Amino acid sequence: MIASLWSSIDAVWSSPLLRRAAAEAALVGVLGGVIGVHVSLRRLAFTTMALTHATFPGVVIASLLGWNLVLGSSAFGLLVVAAIALAGGLGRLDHTTTTGVILAGGMALGVVLVSVQDGFSTNLSAYLVGSVLSTSGSDLALTAAISAVVCGFVLAAHRPLVASAFDPAGVRAAGLAASAVDVGFLVVLVVTLATAVPAVGTILSVSLVVAPAATARLWTDRVGTMLVISPVIGALCGAGGVILSHWWDTSAGATIAAVAGAVFVGSTLISPSTVSLRSPGRSARRQTALR
């Protein structure tokens, strides 16, 4: 067993193709981990889910037109963001329901567009679970560039991002253009997802955005520390997932997501209990008992 694991590690290390795949997965893990911290603070997990599903048609249209997938799906994603914002204002429906409608509708549109072409099944599954094993050198370079830009944004905008997540009414009262920060963040999120989707697929890119940050939250009470731990976890899940998928002969994208999830579940069991994602009532009771 251990011999097989070791031989997989060795295989990934020595094959340029697999090395690139592991590097791409690690980079996407870093990207997701960093953005994921703010997704967690702003409680945007479901919106992220909706964005991946709803930007799916953009990926399809981009590939139909021969555009770069990342750019194409980014453009479509921005349209979706606008649609969600608009839909919130139009009807009397709650945000959850509207997001659910857009999520399923976007997915259906993408599936229909894919079905029009030949090779329905293979194309569709590539979108769903990604094709990290076919990462090219230029893909890797693009991911690295986007990661650098996104991390730069998160660092520079740290204070406005945290403040507007913690006290949106208060920062607006004090004159900060909170909506501009929110929209700016969604744009960066869309770009992140557009980068992650070709690698690990639509549904699974949510995993790298949500799980490492959720895991980091279980281990620390401070945003700054989260911003360090989360990308590290993401990178390890990415590269580790590629290695494990080689060992087990399973889909790479799925294995990465499963690893990220397993790390989260494991952490819920062994992390210090004063910090948790449990509902406020429960932990507040625990706090008073400890004091």
Partner 1 sequence: MAWLTESFSLPFMQRALVIALIVGAVGGVLSAYVVIRRLAFFADTLTHTVFPGVAIASVLVQPLWIGALIAGLASTLAFTFLSRQRLVEDNAAMAVILTTFFAVGVMVVSRVTTFTNDLITLLFGQILTVDRGDIMASALLGGCAVLLTSVLHRELVARAFDPEGSAAAGRPVWALDLALNVAVTLVVVAALRAVGTVLVLALLVTPAATIRPWVRGVVPMAIGGALVGMSSGVIGLVIAYQASVERDVRLAPGATIVLVMTTVFALGSLAVWARRSIRHRVST
Partner 2 sequence: MLPALVLDDMSVSFDGALALQHVSGIVAAGDSVALIGPNGAGKSTLLRAILGLVPLAAGSIEVLGQAPKAARRQVAYVPQADTFDPQFPISVIDVVTMGRAPIIGWWRRPRSVDRRAAAAALERVGLSERSRDRFGTLSGGQRQRVLLARAICQEARLLLLDEPFNGVDAVTQTTLIDVLDELRANGVAVVMATHDLAVAHLACGDACLLNRDQIAFGPIDEVLNSRHLRATYGDRPWVHVGDQVILANAAPSTR
Smallest separation, CB 143 to partner 1 (Å) = 20
- The nearer residue to partner 2, 71 or 176, going by C-beta atoms, is 176
- The nearer residue to partner 2, 14 or 288, going by C-beta atoms, is 288
**225 CB-contact burial (10 Å; exposed 0-12 / middle 13-18 / buried 19+):** middle
**Which residue from 180, 160, 149 is spatially nearest to 74, judged by alpha carbons?**
149
Interacting span for partner 1 (CB under 8 A) from 39-47, 72-80, 143-151, 152-160: 39-47
Interface residue with partner 2, options 9, 79, 140, 171 (CB under 8 A): 171
Site for partner 1 in 111-170 (CB under 8 A): 111-112, 114-116, 120-122, 124-125, 128-129
Q: Is 220 helix (H, G, I), strand (E, B) or coil?
A: coil
Site for partner 1 in 16-35 (CB under 8 A): none
**Which residue from 215, 195, 213, 214 is spatially nearest to 205, judged by alpha carbons?**
195
Structure tokens at 28: 């996407």
CA-CA distances (angstroms) from residue 272 to 14, 228, 236?
A: 39, 18, 22
Q: Is 265 in the site for partner 2 (CB under 8 A)?
A: no
CA 245, CA 129: separation in Å to the nearest integer? 13
Smallest separation, CB 90 to partner 1 (Å) = 4
- The nearer residue to partner 2, 152 or 170, going by C-beta atoms, is 170
Q: Is 159 in the site for partner 2 (CB under 8 A)?
A: yes
CA 15, CA 8: separation in Å to the nearest integer? 10
Site for partner 1 in 245-284 (CB under 8 A): 248-251, 253-258, 260-262, 264-265, 268, 277-279, 282
Q: Is 41 in the site for partner 2 (CB under 8 A)?
A: yes
Interface residue with partner 1, options 46, 67, 144, 158 (CB under 8 A): 46
Phi, psi of 114 (to 5 degrees): -70, -40
**Which residue from 135, 86, 76 is spatially nearest to 109, judged by alpha carbons?**
76
Smallest separation, CB 137 to partner 1 (Å) = 26
Interface residue with partner 1, options 92, 159, 222, 291 (CB under 8 A): 92
Task: Tell me which of partner 1, partner 2, none is bound by residue 222, counting a contact when its beta carbon lies within the kind-specific cut-off of 5 to 8 angstroms.
Answer: partner 2
CA-CA distances (angstroms) from residue 68 to 25, 48, 194, 278?
A: 19, 22, 11, 41
CA 155, CA 133: separation in Å to the nearest integer? 31
The DSSP line for 126-171 is HHHH--GGG--HHHHHHHHHHHHHHHHHHHHTHHHHHHHHH-HHHH
Q: Is 167 in the site for partner 2 (CB under 8 A)?
A: yes
CA 75, CA 58: separation in Å to the nearest integer? 7
- Using CB under 8 A, list all residues that contact partner 2: 41, 156-157, 159-160, 162-163, 165-167, 169-176, 217, 220-223, 226, 277, 280, 283-284, 287
Binding site for partner 1 (CB under 8 A): 39-40, 43, 45-46, 48-49, 87, 90-94, 96-101, 103-105, 107-109, 111-112, 114-116, 120-122, 124-125, 128-129, 203-204, 206-207, 210-211, 213-214, 217, 248-251, 253-258, 260-262, 264-265, 268, 277-279, 282
